[in-house]
Structure 1
Amino acid sequence: MVGTTGFLDVPGARLRYEVRGDGPPLVLLHGNTGDGDVFQFVAAPLAQRYTVITYDARGNSRSALTVNNPGPQPVRERADDALAIIDALTDEPPFVFGNSGGAITALDLLSRYPDRVRLVIAHEPPMFTVLPAAADHAAFFADVHATFLREGTDAAFQKFGAGIGIPAQNRSAEPTQLPPAIGEMRARMHANLPFFLGNEMLDVVGYQPDVPALAKSADRLIFGIGADSRAFRPALPALEFAPTINAELVEFPGDHAGYLGSAEPFVTTLLNVLAARSITQ
Structure 2
Amino acid sequence: MTDLHYDVCGSGPVLLIIPGGAGHPMGLDGLTERLADRFTVVTYDPLGLAHGRLGLPVEEQRVEAWSEGARRVLDEVLPDGESAYVFGSSSAGIAALDLLARHPERLRHVVAHEPPVVEVLPDAARQRAMFVEVYDAYRTAGMQAAGARMAAGLEGRSPKTPVEGQPPAPGEELTSPMGVFLARVMRSFTAYVPDLTALRSSPLTLAAGRDSRGQLLHRTAALMAELTGGGFVEFPGGHIGAVQHPEEFATRLLETLLRTPGRTAR
Q: 1:265 to 1:190 in 2, by over 3 A?
A: farther
The match for 2:61 among 54, 66, 73 is 73
Indicate whether 1:203 and 2:188 are aligned: yes
Gaps of 5+ in 2: 156-173
Secondary structure of the residue that 1:36 maps to in structure 2?
Answer: coil
Q: Is the 8 A contact 1:228 1:255 kept in 2?
A: yes
Between the aligned partners of 2:260 and 2:66, the Cα distance in structure 1 is: 26
SS at match of 2:30: coil
**Could you tell me whether the CA contact under 8 Å between 2:212 and 2:239 is conserved in 1?**
yes
Q: Distance in 1 between matches of 2:46 and 2:247?
A: 25
| Residue 193 to residue 67, structure 1, CA distance change in 2 (3 Å) | closer
TM-score between both structures, scaled by the size of structure 2: 0.83
Q: Does residue 237 of the first structure (1) align with residue 237 of the second (2)?
A: no
TM-aligned CA distance change 1:139 to 1:95, over 3 Å: same
Q: CA deviation at 1:245?
A: 2.2
State how 1:188-227 maps to structure 2 within 5 Å. 191-217=176-202, 220-227=203-210
Do structure 1's residue 275 and structure 2's residue 264 form an aligned pair? no
Which aligned pairs between 1:27-42 and structure 2 lie closer than 5 A?
27-42=16-31
Check conservation: 1:226, 1:235, Cα contact below 8 A.
yes
Q: Quickly say closer, same or farther: Cα 1:67–1:255, change in 2 above 3 A.
A: closer
Shift of residue 161, structure 1, vs aligned partner:
3.2
Q: 1:205 to 1:69 in 2, by over 3 A?
A: closer
* 1:23 equivalent in alignment to 2:12: yes
- Per-residue deviation, 1:140: 0.7
| Identity across the alignment (%) | 36
**Equivalent residue for 1:151, pick from 137, 141, 156:** 141
1:102-121 alignment runs, 5 A limit:
102-121=92-111
Whole-angstrom CA distance in 1 between matches of 2:3 and 2:138: 27
* Residue of structure 2 aligned with 1:264, choices 244, 247, 256: 247
Paired AA for residue 86 in structure 2: V
The structural deviation recorded for 1:229 is 1.1
1:89 alignment partner AA:
V
Give how far 1:237 is off: 0.9
| Greater fraction helix | 1
Equivalences, count? 243
- 1:236-280 deviation digits (Å, cap 9, x = unpaired): 2111121122111111111112122222221221121223339x9
Which residue of the partner structure matches residue 159 of structure 2?
A: none
CA distance, structure 2, for counterparts of residue 190 and residue 256 of structure 1: 23
What are the superposed Cα offsets for residues 81-122 of structure 1, whole Å, 9 maximum, x if unpaired?
A: 111111111223210011111110100000111112111001
The alignment partner of 1:42 has SS state of: helix
Correspondence for 1:95 among 82, 85, 90: 85
Matched residue SS, 1:148: helix
Q: Which residue of 2 aligns with 1:45?
A: 34
Q: Does structure 1 retain, via aligned residues, the 8 Å contact 2:10–2:40? A: yes
CA contact (8 A) 1:111 1:210 kept: yes
- CA separation in 2, counterparts of 1:74 and 1:65? 18
Name stretches of at least 5 consecutive residues in structure 1 with no aligned partner: 1-11, 166-188
In the alignment, the residues of structure 1 paired with residue 91 and residue 49 of structure 2 have an alpha-carbon distance, to the nearest angstrom, of: 13
Cα distance in 2 for residues equivalent to 1:193 and 1:262? 21
Q: State the 1:191 CA deviation.
A: 0.7
